[in-house]
Amino acid sequence: MYAWMFRHLPGPLWARIGITVVLLAALIVVLFAWVFPAVAPYMPFNDGLVGAAGHAPPTATP
Amino acid sequence: MAARHTHRSRSRPGGAGFLGGAIGLLGELLLTVGALLLLFLVWQLWWTDVIADREQAGIIAGLDDEWGSVDQERIAPAQDGPPPVPDTLGDTMTWGTMHVPAFDRDRFPLAEGVSLEEVLNVKGAGHYPETALPGEVGNFSVAGHRNTYGRVFEDIAALQSGDPVVIETADAFYVYEVTESLIVNPEDVEVIAPAPGEPGVEPTEQMMTLTACHPMYSARERYIVHAEFAYWTDREDGIPEALASEESTSGEGTSDGEEAAGATGAAAAATALTTATAREEEN
């Protein structure tokens, strides 16, 4: 898959390597800025609240 | 070499070649998933800290501008009167900072509310809105991250009985002293009841509670620290004594102090610590 994509990039080898690096960098930016923040609330290790099942603020009164 | 490579890829459209191609694709997808998980870890364990640290430093700089500077060399006398009730400004707004000398990161913002996205992930510690305010009778309760997002409560397990936890607002410092640490289940809301551990009981004491994840990198349980109000000081008078010792325990003041302690006893050590700190600040 990746080999196929690499073969179909335009330009000489150095340009294709350059394009690959830029694409990877863009992918990481997109992941860090949007994808991971959106996914993180569903991860089970970030909640330090008492009384909060899941991630809503504690609405239950003692 | 190039020729052989071409030959091999041309043979793929055949029966065995198709299977090989499918396995190759599966392998690449699995590698991609692995790389994504690794990247997620990098983001969660490192990048969220980078972002939150930057954010918190900005908030603290902003507050210091707004509140004016504190005279770091003057020890403010403990006030006798009832402590002023802080203005909490409204949901998700930062209205104070917390100083915990026992923590590596010994000052961080304190905001209203415990929303992860709007407070705890970006600003630092968050005040449970239903609970008392600093100095009030009841249970002033604060949540914070123990890992990731700036991890303001990372060292919460290092707190010992008697350690100071100080809240700074525009007008005052509120000094609490740790009384006990507990590990509870996430649903044990009685720890932030007005009388800690006794839901429904009318509070008589000025208590404080810190809540954080436990164990590290998990949210299976909660680490709870209770503290008791000790005294408050006027911000215009300088820093409370509890924070003066904070500075002398970090840095060069300590070694000077220890030598003096050996020679002339604990009281002299305290004086030496203060002088050493003052000297440090002058330089």
* Amino acid letter, B91: D
CA nearest B223: which of A50, A61, A55?
Answer: A50
- In 3D space, the residue among B161, B123, B160, B170 whose CA is nearest the CA of residue B142 turns out to be B123
- Residues A23-39: pLDDT tens digits? 999 999 999 999 999 98
Give the C-alpha separation, B149 to B178, whole Å. Answer: 25
B19 interface with A at CB cutoff 8 Å:
no
Cross-chain residue pair A39–B40, CB shorter than 8 Å: yes
Mean of the pLDDT values across residues B153-182? 95
Q: Does any domain span residue A47?
A: no
Reading the block at residue B143, the tokens are: 């949540």
In a domain, A46, yes or no: no
Whether A30 is in a domain gets the answer yes
- Chain A CB contacts of B224 below 8 Å: 50
Percent of chain A scoring above 70 in pLDDT: 71
**b/e for A33-54, b at 16 or more Cβ within 10 A?**
eeebbeebeeeebbbbbbbbee
Q: DSSP readout, A34-56?
A: IIHHHHGGGSTT----SS-STTS
Q: How crowded is the C-beta side of B15, counted as CA atoms within 13 Å?
A: 0
Q: Is residue B220 annotated as part of the catalytic site, yes or no?
A: no
| The length of chain A, given as a count of residues | 62
Q: What is the pLDDT of residue B267?
A: 45
Indicate which residue of B99, B145, B146, B214 is catalytic: B145
Residue A52 lies in a domain: no
Indicate which of B151, B187, B198, B216 best probes the interface with A, i.e. most A CBs within 10 Å of its own CB: B187
User: What stretches of B151-200 show up as alpha helix (H) in DSSP?
Assistant: none
What domains can be seen in chain B, in order of their start residue?
Answer: 65-71+78-239 (2.40.260.10), 251-282 (no CATH)
The strand pair at B206-214 and B138-143 is best described as: parallel
Task: State how far the alpha carbon of B129 is from the alpha carbons of A32, A59, B146, in Å.
Answer: 31, 10, 20
User: For B98-104, what is the mean pLDDT?
Assistant: 94
The reported pLDDT for the residue numbered A43 is 78
Among B26, B44, B115, the residue to mutate for chain A (most A Cβ within 10 A): B44
Lowest mean pLDDT among B152-161, B199-208, B237-246: B237-246
Catalytic, out of B127, B146, B213, B214? B213
Residue A40 lies in a domain: no
State the total domains in chain A: 1
Which residues form the domain of A27?
2-34
Domain membership of residue A39 (yes or no) is no
Confidence class for position B36, pLDDT limits 50, 70, 90:
very high
Answer yes or no: is A54 within a domain: no
Q: CA-to-CA distance for B226 and B209, rounded, in angstroms? A: 5
Residue listed under structure tokens 């970006």: B122
ipTM over 0.90: no
Nearest CB to A55: which of B29, B116, B222?
B116
B207 φ/ψ angles, rounded to the nearest 5 degrees: -110, 165
Active site residue B10: no
Q: Look up residue B72 and give its DSSP letter.
A: T
What φ, ψ does residue B248 adopt, rounded to 5°?
Answer: -75, -20
Asked, for residue A59, whether it belongs to a domain, the answer is no
Question: If 0-12 CB within 10 Å is exposed, 13-18 middle and 19+ buried, where does residue A29 land?
Answer: exposed
CA B30 vs CA A4, B24, B225: distances in Å: 17, 10, 43
